[in-house]
Amino acid sequence: MQLPSTTITDGGHITVKPKRTLRLLQLLRPHRALFTAGMLFLITNSLAGLAFPELLGRLINAGKQPEATAYIHEAGIALVVLLTIQAISSFFRTLIFVKVAEKTLASLRQSVYNHLIKLPMQFFLTRRVGELNSRISADISLLQETFTNTIAELIRQLVIIVGGITFLMLTSIHLTLFMLAIMPVMVLIAVGFGRFIRHFSRRVQDQVAASGTIVEETLQGIFSVKAFASEFLEMKRYREKTDEAARIGIQNGKYRAALSSFVVAGIFGALVAVIWRGALIGLDTGQLFSFVLYSVFIGSSIGGLAEVYASLQKSIGATDNLFAILDEPAEPLAPVTRLAPEHTLHGYISFRHVSFRYPGREDTPVLKNLSFQAQANQTIALIGPSGAGKSTIVSLLLRIYDPTGGHILFDQKDSSTFPLSALRSQIATVPQDVFLFGGTIAENIAYGKQDATDAEIIAAAQKANAWEFIQRMPQGLQTIVGERGVQLSGGQRQRIAIARAVLKSPRILILDEATSALDAESEKLVQDALSKLMKGRTAIVIAHRLATIRQADKIIVIDKGAIVEEGTHHELISNEEGLYKTLCEMQFIQ
């Protein structure tokens, strides 16, 4: 995948760069008013949290004041008010951030999908679809966390650190500096240590998983284990893996033990040192109490900041991946509402000296200087051995790819002068491997024409010889086809695809004959439907069974990307030396 120039990867580690952070924040732009409101609640919430230790300190000290009861009530009520403000602001802050995150992610999902579906075929050639899909959903979930929590946490922690230090400075600059010299260092060491341990725990889990795999595999393949008498070998392998897991686990335990003593000695030690020093310089109980509480707040915010930074780095990596997809140039597609007269096809097709190499396989010419014509309403059959280049011709016709040499003309005009969507909307394909979507039969037929009425769908199904079997199904047109149409037979799927093409009523028809033979009856139904469909249209037929193309106006024999013969069945069959004759003989056709 082509990554944008701003991506900086350093041994798999992604560093935060301002430009990339900005790109992440730009996603929030449409919701900036709502986001700002959320920010206000967040800041209110953080400030209220900040006042908490101070007020608590006052409450503790209130007993020593001359009119103790009044002071105690005052401080107590102030704390209740504070907690109410905190509760309310916390509610709205969470609500608003979730709203912003959900809206942002929905539009991000939509733009990534909308872009992805418009990317040219060559993008998909080098990527695994499953991987792309899980990548995108993982990256988007990461961003969900960022927009709901991470950004808010970052702000909250900054407010607490800055505000907390200010409060402390007001109490005692000397003690604050003392605290700052030891507390953050201890916290950061603890965070770093914690991360190291987490990495170690992952290694333990991997080892345990590896030993689990041995159990699973050997039990599934227990027959082979016994047949090869390898029980003792497997026992040894399992012992090694589990012993290793135990060894790493014990080592991990040592680090954990060290961390907990460090937390007790280091962090609590730092707190003790602060209280000690504070007592020495004469702070009273209340002041000392709020001082310690602020120190804890600040310490945990510094620790939290390190986590937030790591999580932001991951999100920026995720946005880089998503933006890399968005930065890929898409096909210039636009919805076809009405065909302009100059873009209406009349059915004449001409290949002129067309050459082609697949992107990424530039060293292998697939089509070599290919020229042929199809007059309007003619049927042209493409035949030739497997790998000759027949499907490639179809891909070029649909402009899935553009030729690397030569031209393809529709009605004497270069194919590149037609808008892609306008061109494709006038061509229908009935492919070999019919792909049916998981919806109803009606939806699948209407794929050729989204606004088709039920009557039109039924008429198309009748023309495609599909109506009879659809009618026999309990739910008729509303029958749900299973994933990839598994509940339908090959012949039935083909007839649905034909009905789709009937409904689309294309000017040009591309038929890729199924290689797997249908039974005689299905074959006849499919052939009948196809003959009806081909009438009055230009048809390009990729034929595997030569018996079906005798009536073609022209048969083009392709071998290794070049045309080796061209003519009608009768012309070609009389050439004793020809490839067509040989192929016919192999299929017992006279």
Ligand X SMILES: Nc1ncnc2c1ncn2[C@@H]1O[C@H](COP(=O)(O)OP(=O)(O)OP(=O)(O)O)[C@@H](O)[C@H]1O
Question: What is the contact surface with ligand X in residues (CB under 6 A)?
Answer: 125, 358, 361, 366, 384, 386-392
The sign of the CA dihedral 538, 544, 550, 555 is positive
Q: Under DSSP, is residue 63 helix (H, G, I), strand (E, B) or coil?
A: coil
Minimum Å gap between C-beta 202 and ligand X is 38
Four-point Cα dihedral 36, 42, 48, 50, nearest 10: -110
Strand order in the sheet with 365-374: 365-374, 349-357, 405-410, 413-414
Q: Tell me 345's DSSP state.
A: -
Nearer to ligand X, 169 or 583 (CB): 583
Which of 365/448 has CB closer to ligand X?
365
What one-character-per-residue DSSP string does 70-138 give?
HHHHHHHHHHHHHHHHHHHHHHHHHHHHHHHHHHHHHHHHHHHHHHHHTS-HHHHHTS-HHHHHHHHHH
Cα–Cα distance for residue pair 554/309, rounded to 1 Å: 67
Please identify which residue in the block is written with the tokens 């892609």: 420
- Min dist. Cβ of residue 512 to ligand X (A): 8
Given the complex with ligand X, which of 49 and 384 has the nearer CB atom? Answer: 384
Q: Least distance to ligand X from the beta carbon of 415, Å?
A: 18
CB of 3 to ligand X, least distance (A): 23
**CB closer to ligand X out of 125 and 170:** 125
Report the distance separating Cα 483 and Cα 474, nearest Å: 19
- Residue 365 CB, nearest approach to ligand X (Å): 9
As a whole number of angstroms, the distance between CA 101 and CA 103 comes to 6
Helical axes 285-327 vs 173-220, angle rounded to 10°: 50
3-state SS class at 67: coil
Write down the least CB distance from residue 316 to ligand X, Å. 33
Nearest to 49 by CA among 272, 296, 307: 296
Q: How far is the CB of 94 from ligand X (least distance, A)?
A: 49
Instruction: Give me the least distance between CB of 384 and ligand X, in Å please.
Output: 6
CA dist., res. 219 & res. 206, Å (int): 20
Contact 536, 473 (CB under 8 A): no
Question: Is there a contact between 299 and 183 (Cβ–Cβ < 8 Å)?
Answer: yes
Evaluated on CA atoms 199, 200, 202, 207, the torsion sign reads positive
- Amino acid in position 167: F
Which CB, 126 or 450, lies closer to ligand X? 126
**Closer Cβ to ligand X, 105 or 388, answer by number:** 388
Q: Considering beta carbons, is residue 530 or 558 the nearer one to ligand X?
A: 558
The residue (of 10 and 131) whose beta carbon lies closer to ligand X is 131
Shortest Å distance, C-beta 393 to ligand X = 7
Q: Compare residues 148 and 548 and give the one whose CB is closer to ligand X.
A: 548
Rounded (10°) CA dihedral 558, 559, 561, 564:
-60
Closest approach of ligand X to the CB of residue 121, in Å: 8
- Taking the least distance from each CB to ligand X, the nearer of 318 and 366 is 366
Owner of token pair 């018996």: 547
